[in-house]
Structure 1
Amino acid sequence: MGSALSFVTRVYTSFSPAKVALNPDHLQIGILSTGDLAALSLITPAKSHPILWSTLLLHGMKRKQRNLIEDPRIDAVYIPLPNSMHYEWTIKALKAGKHALVEKPIASTPEEAREMHELADSLNLVLLEGIHTRFHPALQRVKAIVDSGELGKIKHMSAKGLAPIQKADQVYKPSDFEQAKGSVMDIACYDVDIFRYLTGSEPTGVGSVAYTPSPKAKNMDKTADGVLEFPGEVTAAFSTDISLEIKLGFIPQFDFSLVVECEEGSINLSNYMIPQIYHSLTVTKSNGQKRVEKVYKPASGSGAHGEEWWSTFRYQLKAFVQKIRGGSPLEWVKKEDSVAILVWLQKIYEKVNARCLFFWSGFADYVVRWVWILDRLRAIIFMHS
C-alpha cells in the first residue's frame, strides 16, 4: 500500500508540482514555441524552481521570435523548434546576449553544432543541448557501477527507444524529414549519447544499420536498428521506433530500456526516458547474485540535491540554471558531446545511403523554413476557422 501511494504521489507531483516563490534575482527564460513539448520539458519543471520563471510563450512567427530574443528582460531562451531551425535561432539568441537551452539534436550537422558552441564560448554564454536523460540519477548510477569495476569491462550495450505515437505517418508530415526529423535524429541521439557516456570513448565505426521508411515520407526513417563499434571490440546496438500503436485507443506503449553486458555481469535499466514515473535498475552478477535498485535522487555525498518526483527535465533545468549562475553541475553535455552525437548520427544515415536534406545548405534550408512557416500559417487559419 505504501509503495502504491508513493507511486501515485510521485507521478502526480512530477506533472503537477506546487509553484514555489521566486527569488528576487530570478532568471526569465523565453520559449520560442508553444508546442506541447515546452509544457513537459520546461514550463512544468520551472514551477518548482525558485530562480527561474518561464515566460512569453510565442507561436512560431519570426517577428515575435525576434522580439523575444531582443527583449532585455529575458535572460535565456528555450528552443524546441523543428530541428532544422535550431542553428538559426540559437545563433540569433546568442548574438542577442541570451543563454540558450536547445532541444536535441542541437543542430542538423556537426559543423553547425561546433559553430554554435564556439560562439557561445566567445560571448561567455551558456549553451546546453537538451539530452535530458543524462541528468537523471538513475543513468548516473549505471555509469557509477560501470566505472567502479564491479562487473569488469563493458562487452556489449543495447538501448531501445520505442515511442508511443499512433499512426506516425499522420503525426510526422512529409516535410518533417527535411526538418531533420526521423527516428534516428529524434530518438537514437539519446542512445548514441548513452553509449559514449558509459564507455567514455568515441565509436570507431558503424557496424550495420537497417531502417523502415515512412510511407508518406519515403526518405524519413520510421524505425531504425543498428550497431556501433567501440574500442576494445565493444559493440552497442540501438533500436528506435516512432510508430508504436496505442492500445485500446488510449493506452500508450513504451520501451525505453538499456542493457549493459560486462565481463562479470550485466546492468538492466528500464524506462530511462521517464524514470521518475517508474524504473528498475537490475544488477546481475555472473555467479547468479542479483539486486534491484531504485534511484530517484542523487547519491549521498555527491553534493547534489533532488527530489524523488523530479523528472529528467527538472534535473536538466537545475543544471542549466546552475551553470548560468557560475556553478559546476554534477553532469553536463559539452560541446564535444553535441558535435560527436551529430557526427555519428550522420554516419548512421550514410551507412544506409540516406541522403538527408538537412545535410544540405543554402537553397534547401530556405525551402525548409518556408515549408515550416506555411505549415504554421495553415494551423493558425484552421484554429480560427
Structure 2
Amino acid sequence: MTAHHQPNDTLRWGVLGATSYIATHLMPAIAATGGCALSAVASRPERSAAAAELGRPFGAAVHQDYAALLADPAIDAVYIPLPNTDHVEWTLRAVAAGKHVLVEKPMAMDEDGCTRIEKAAEAASRTVMEAFMYRFHPQQRRAAEILASGEIGELRLVRASFAFRIESGSGNIRLDPALGGGATWDVGCYAVDAPLLFFGQAPQQVTARFSSRPGLTVDTSAVATMDFGQGRSAVVDYSIDYGPRAAYELQGTRGTLMVRNAWAMTGEDGAITVLTQDGVREETVPAANHYQLQVEAFARAVRDGGPAPMSLSDSRRTARVGSALVASAAAGGAAVDTSEDVPGAR
C-alpha cells in the first residue's frame, strides 16, 4: 500500500549523491518526466559546491548533506545512487522521513536488507523500487513478447554476459571493498537479473567461481551457473577486467533469441536476432531513454498507489541469488541452495 498523489500534483524529487554520471543520465530523466520536478540535490559536505553546479541547470536547490535533504518537507521522492554499502541505511532513513524511494541497484547486498526495506515501506505506505533501468527498455518487452509467442519454443537456457574494463588505480568506487565494490554487485546484478526475469523465479541452486585482478581484493570476473529445475538453466559471466560485452540469449526448444546490446545506452537502438529452423531474422528496436521510462513508471506507481513495476519481492530474490554467488565462490564453487528459506551450501 502506498500513499496516493493527486494526478495534478508535481512529484518533487531530491537526489542523494549528485555525480556527473547521475547528472548526465538520471537527473535529466527526472526533469523531463511529466508531473515530476528535480527540486534538490545533496552530496557529502565537501562536495556541496560541485553538487550545486550539477543541480543548477535543473533549478535544483542544494542541501549541505543527505540528512538535510531528507528533512526538507518540499521533497516527495528521492533517488539514491550512493555506494552499495549505503543503500539500505539511506533508503530506510528516507522512508522514515516520509519519502518515496528509487534506489540504485543493488538495493541490498543480502536478502535481510531488502526485507527490512520492504517492512519499512509497507509500514510507512511509501513506494520503494530498485533501479533496474534495462527492464524498462522496449527491447526487453519485445524479447518477452517473442518468447511468449512460442516462436523459439519453451525456454530452457539463458546465457547472459555483461563486462566492461575498469582500470586499476582509477579511484573507481567499484574497486573499493569497503564500499561494496566488485563485479558481482555492479555488472553482475544485470547479468544475474536477466535469467530471473525471463524464468520468472529464483533458481533452486547456484554455483560461482570468482577471480580477482592482481593487486585488487574485490572480485573482478566471474562465471556462474543457475539451476532452475526441470532441465532449465542459466550460465552468466560478468567482469570489470575485460569488455565491452553486453548480451543475453534465450535458448528455447525450437530456437534462439539473441539480444546483442542488452543494456543499451540511451540513443542506441536495440538489436534482436531470432534463429529457428525457418532461418534467421533481425529486429531493430528503436532507441529509447530507459532512465526516463523507469522514472515515469515509478511516478505512476506513486500516484496510483499501486505496486512498483520492479517489485520488492523481485529485489529480495536478486539479493538472495547475489549473496549465494558470493557464498559459492568463497566455498570454491560449491553449489548453494537459493530456494526460499533454505540458505547454505550443499
1:340-359 alignment, distance < 5 Å: 340-353=317-330
- Structure 1 match to 2:275: 284
Quick check: 2:159–2:250 contact (8 Å CA) kept in 1? yes
In the TM superposition, what is the alpha-carbon distance from 1:215 to its structure 2 partner? Answer: 2.8
In the TM superposition, what is the alpha-carbon distance from 1:175 to its structure 2 partner? Answer: 7.2
**AA paired with 1:130?**
A
- Structure 2 match to 1:117: 118
SS in 1 for 2:197: helix
Equivalents in 2 of 1:323, 1:237: separation in Å?
33
Equivalents in 1 of 2:198, 2:116: separation in Å?
26
User: RMSD of the alignment, in Å?
Assistant: 2.3
Equivalents in 1 of 2:190, 2:173: separation in Å?
22
**AA paired with 2:313?**
E
- Structure 2 match to 1:216: 215
In the TM superposition, what is the alpha-carbon distance from 1:201 to its structure 2 partner? Answer: 2.1
- Structure 1 match to 2:340: none
SS in 2 for 1:159: strand
- Structure 2 match to 1:368: none
In the TM superposition, what is the alpha-carbon distance from 1:328 to its structure 2 partner? Answer: 5.7
Distance 1:174 1:24, change over 3 A: closer
Equivalents in 1 of 2:133, 2:168: separation in Å?
23
- Structure 1 match to 2:186: 186
The range that moved more, 91-100 or 30-39, is 30-39
Quick check: 1:135–1:315 contact (8 Å CA) kept in 2? yes
Q: Which has the higher strand share?
A: 2
**AA paired with 1:226?**
A
**AA paired with 2:10?**
H
- Structure 1 match to 2:251: 261
In the TM superposition, what is the alpha-carbon distance from 1:192 to its structure 2 partner? Answer: 2.0
TM-score (norm 1): 0.75
Distance 1:327 1:91, change over 3 A: closer
SS in 1 for 2:320: helix
Quick check: 1:174–1:217 contact (8 Å CA) kept in 2? no
Quick check: 1:169–1:216 contact (8 Å CA) kept in 2? no
The counterpart of 1:311, out of the listed 279, 289, 312, is 289
The counterpart of 2:261, out of the listed 271, 278, 291, is 271
- Over residues 56-88 of structure 1, what are the superposed CA-to-partner deviations in whole Å (9 max), with x where a residue is unaligned? 222224962111001000010110000110111
Equivalents in 2 of 1:349, 1:54: separation in Å?
37
- Structure 1 match to 2:234: 236
Distance 1:158 1:87, change over 3 A: same
- Over residues 305-361 of structure 1, what are the superposed CA-to-partner deviations in whole Å (9 max), with x where a residue is unaligned? xxx4x32211111111111111668x8111111011111111111111179xxxxxx
Equivalents in 1 of 2:133, 2:230: separation in Å?
28
1:192-203 alignment, distance < 5 Å: 192-203=192-203
Quick check: 2:109–2:322 contact (8 Å CA) kept in 1? no
- Over residues 264-300 of structure 1, what are the superposed CA-to-partner deviations in whole Å (9 max), with x where a residue is unaligned? 0000011121254132111111x1422211223xxxx
- Structure 2 match to 1:294: 284
Quick check: 2:16–2:43 contact (8 Å CA) kept in 1? yes
Gaps of 5+ in 1: 1-22, 245-252, 297-307, 356-385
In the TM superposition, what is the alpha-carbon distance from 1:240 to its structure 2 partner? Answer: 0.8
- Structure 1 match to 2:129: 128
TM-score (norm 2): 0.83
Gaps of 5+ in 2: 1-6, 46-62, 333-346
Quick check: 1:211–1:223 contact (8 Å CA) kept in 2? yes
Equivalents in 2 of 1:105, 1:60: separation in Å?
21
Runs of 4+ in 1 over 3 A off after TM superposition: 171-175
Quick check: 2:106–2:319 contact (8 Å CA) kept in 1? yes
- Structure 2 match to 1:76: 77
Distance 1:158 1:76, change over 3 A: same
Quick check: 1:173–1:216 contact (8 Å CA) kept in 2? no
SS in 2 for 1:293: strand
**AA paired with 2:181?**
K
